[in-house]
Amino acid sequence: MPKSEKEKMLAGDLYSPADPQLATERLAARQFCHKYNNISPELETQRADALREMFPNAGEELFIEPPFCCDYGGNIKFGKNVYINFYCTILDSAQVTIGDNVMIAPNVQIYTAYHPLNAVERNKGPELASPITIGTNVWLGGGVIILPGVAIGDNTTIGAGSVVTKSIPSNVLAVGNPCRVIREI
């Protein structure tokens, strides 16, 4: 039996983002983000309820400062005690796993989606996606960009403005573009 476009997407195969099921799921995520981002700041309980509705399997103490954007939402797994600051974008065409005790500074971008390098193939419209894993006790500084397929180890800090193009081990400080390990911590 042939794979659905969603199955292809989650398996890391070329898939069509124009697929009706995927378009419907993206619309639902955008509706959630619009609703969430427009909840008045003093309505903390309403914001917490909205997060539990969108991310029912998230660990305790998930807090996301609006505005927040994601592609699907259902492909994001949050551990407990996760804080995400303003203007976070998560393109979750593949699984994004965020461990416990993670701090994400403003303007962080997490991208699982990418396009074929060959222009002829790219112009046909298919996309690819590769999962991202962020370990436990990780701090992502302001403006960090994480590219598809990256894993960040436990107890690691990624410095502000870094572009993480390759996986980073546990227990290190890593910074730069491209991001590289500066020292162990």
- In what order do the strands lie in the sheet containing 145-146? 68-70, 88-91, 109-111, 145-146, 163-164
Nearest C-alpha neighbor of 104 from the set 74, 131, 79: 79
Residue 84 pairs in a beta bridge with 64, 104
Strands 103-104 and 82-84: parallel
Which entry of 30, 77, 80, 115 is annotated as an active-site residue? 115
115 is catalytic: yes
Nearest C-alpha neighbor of 40 from the set 50, 26, 30: 50
Give the three-state DSSP class for 56. coil
Query: Which tokens go with 166?
Result: 């390759």
Give the torsion through C-alpha atoms of 119, 123, 127, 130, to 10 deg. 20
Catalytic amino acids? 115
